[in-house]
């Protein structure tokens, strides 16, 4: 039987930002990052995001098996999209029912995933851009120190975009 894998996936700027606008998908990431992201999603049987990330990418998310973490009650018209309140449902139980899970953000979901120890792996695309303002990858000081072991790094383009893979230990 294949082992369960739950991966936090994020593109970050050199100053650790995942977005400069919470209502829109980043426009500063490379096409190489997009290709790697799509390859990764093609192997995922569940994607997990927050409501803002879902709203920003709704057309694409509605085509996937998606779990949307939100405290606002909402019912999806799509049978493959499920809204869950993490205060009322055991999200980890839902995640563990799948083989390859991709945590797509935003910051609230990334922080919750780290605090609740949902993730087995972290994939970061480091883009050579400084945003200066915006939303940080991790904003919580609630989760205790976690250790990660580097698995791989891959240079994606001549501009210096890097794909970093870490295993949480």
Asked if the model's pLDDT at residue 107 lies above 70, the reply is yes
Residue 146: predicted pLDDT: 84
Total tally of structural domains belonging to the chain: 1
CATH of the domain at 93: 3.40.430.10
Of 120, 116, 105, which is closest to residue 9 (Cα–Cα)? 105
Residues 54-87 have pLDDT tens digits of 988 888 999 999 999 999 888 888 999 999 999 9
Q: What's the predicted TM-score (pTM) here? A: 0.92
**Contact between 66 and 54 (Cβ < 8 Å):** yes
Of 22, 20, 88, 21, which is closest to residue 49 (Cα–Cα)? 22
**Contact between 105 and 18 (Cβ < 8 Å):** yes
Of 28, 25, 96, which is closest to residue 61 (Cα–Cα)? 25
Confidence class for position 24, pLDDT limits 50, 70, 90: confident
Domain hosting residue 67, numbered range: 5-168
Residue 89 three-state SS: coil
């Amino acid at each position: 039987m294949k082992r369960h894998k739950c991966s936090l996936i994020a593109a970050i700027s050199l100053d650790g930002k995942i977005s400069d606008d919470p209502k829109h998908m980043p426009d500063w990431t490379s096409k190489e990052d997009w290709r790697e992201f799509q390859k990764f999603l093609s192997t995922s049987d569940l994607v997990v995001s927050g409501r803002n990330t879902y709203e920003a990418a709704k057309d694409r998310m509605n085509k996937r098996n998606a779990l949307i973490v939100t405290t606002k009650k909402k019912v999806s018209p799509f049978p493959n999209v499920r809204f869950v309140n993490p205060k009322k449902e055991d999200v980890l139980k839902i995640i563990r029912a799948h083989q390859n899970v991709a945590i797509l953000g935003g910051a609230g979901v990334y922080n919750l995933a780290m605090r609740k120890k949902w993730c087995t792996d972290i994939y970061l695309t480091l883009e050579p851009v400084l945003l200066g303002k915006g939303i940080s990858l991790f904003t919580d000081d609630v989760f205790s120190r976690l250790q990660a072991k580097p698995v791989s790094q891959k240079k994606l383009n001549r501009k210096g975009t890097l794909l970093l893979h870490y295993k949480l230990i």
